[in-house]
């Protein structure tokens, strides 16, 4: 995908997910989540070439200090990924994130082992993860699911489900929740899942 097309898509996605988003120029200048995603796209391309892995890590450390968002350059991130407020987000090396995913501040997609294996979560498409949630280990969060604010998820979450609590309890979405998730103009408040 062409760089300008990707930038436009990201800016449009920010407007779709944040009612406070005013315009593309302002969003491009002040949204730390966008800055982190854009830098990650560059660093991830570098990461795929072993000789550039060191510089990729350095780039993302600089971005971390500027944005408060830590994304390992090895993480695989899909299209239209949005981080609202950004601060404190951590995404580990072997994390995989699908398309149309939204994270709120303080989310961790972390590991539970020190072994050099797949140790971070795989997040499906159209998933929302609430503020402060911790999704830990090589688990899968299915498409169209939501993780509530401050939930601690250590087991798979099936598609079209909601996980809340510590440890997270999983249930299928109600019909009303399903309608809200499908309507892109509807703001889904992760706090309603607690």
Residue pLDDT, tens place only, 16-45: 877 777 787 887 887 888 999 999 999 999
Return the DSSP state at 157. Answer: B
Q: Residues 105-123, buried b or exposed e (16+ Cβ, 10 A)?
A: bbbbbbbeeeeeeebbbbb
Provide the pLDDT for residue 19. Answer: 73
Q: How far apart are CA 185 and CA 96, in angstroms?
A: 26
Q: What is the CATH number of the domain that holds 50?
A: 2.160.10.10
Provide the pLDDT for residue 77. Answer: 96
Q: Give the CA distances from residue 103 to residues 8, 12, 98, 106, 113, in Å, rounded to whole numbers and listed in that order.
A: 20, 16, 12, 9, 23
User: Who's near 148: CB < 8 A, 6+ residues apart?
Assistant: 130, 133, 162, 163, 164, 165, 168, 190, 191, 193, 194
Q: How far apart are CA 121 and CA 108, in angstroms?
A: 10
- 109, 121 contact by CB (below 8 A): yes
> Whole domain around residue 144: which residue ranges?
3-193
**Spans of the chain, pLDDT less than 70:** 1, 181-194
Q: How far apart are CA 10 and CA 3, in angstroms?
A: 11
Q: Which pair of tokens denotes residue 56?
A: 């990729």
Q: How far apart are CA 61 and CA 133, in angstroms?
A: 22
pTM, two decimal places = 0.86
Residue pLDDT, tens place only, 126-149: 999 999 999 999 999 999 999 999
Provide the pLDDT for residue 123. Answer: 98
Query: How many domains does one find in the chain?
Result: 1
């Amino acid at each position: 995908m062409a760089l300008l097309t990707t930038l436009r898509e990201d800016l449009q996605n920010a407007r779709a997910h944040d009612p406070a988003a005013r315009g593309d120029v302002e969003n491009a200048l002040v949204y730390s989540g966008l800055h982190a995603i854009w830098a990650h796209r560059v660093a991830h391309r570098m990461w795929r070439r072993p000789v550039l892995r060191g510089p990729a890590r350095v780039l993302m450390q600089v971005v971390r200090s500027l944005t408060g968002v830590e994304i390992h350059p090895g993480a695989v991130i899909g299209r239209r990924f949005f981080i609202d407020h950004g601060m404190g987000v951590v995404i580990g090396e072997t994390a995989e994130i699908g398309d149309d995913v939204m994270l709120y501040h303080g989310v961790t997609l972390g590991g539970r082992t020190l072994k050099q294996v797949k140790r971070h979560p795989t997040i499906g498409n159209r998933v929302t993860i609430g503020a402060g949630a911790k999704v830990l280990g090589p688990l899968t969060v299915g498409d169209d699911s939501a993780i509530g604010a401050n939930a601690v998820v250590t087991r798979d979450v099936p598609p079209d489900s909601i996980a809340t609590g510590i440890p997270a309890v999983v249930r299928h979405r109600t019909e009303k929740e399903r309608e809200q998730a499908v309507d892109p103009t509807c703001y889904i408040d992760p706090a309603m899942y607690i």
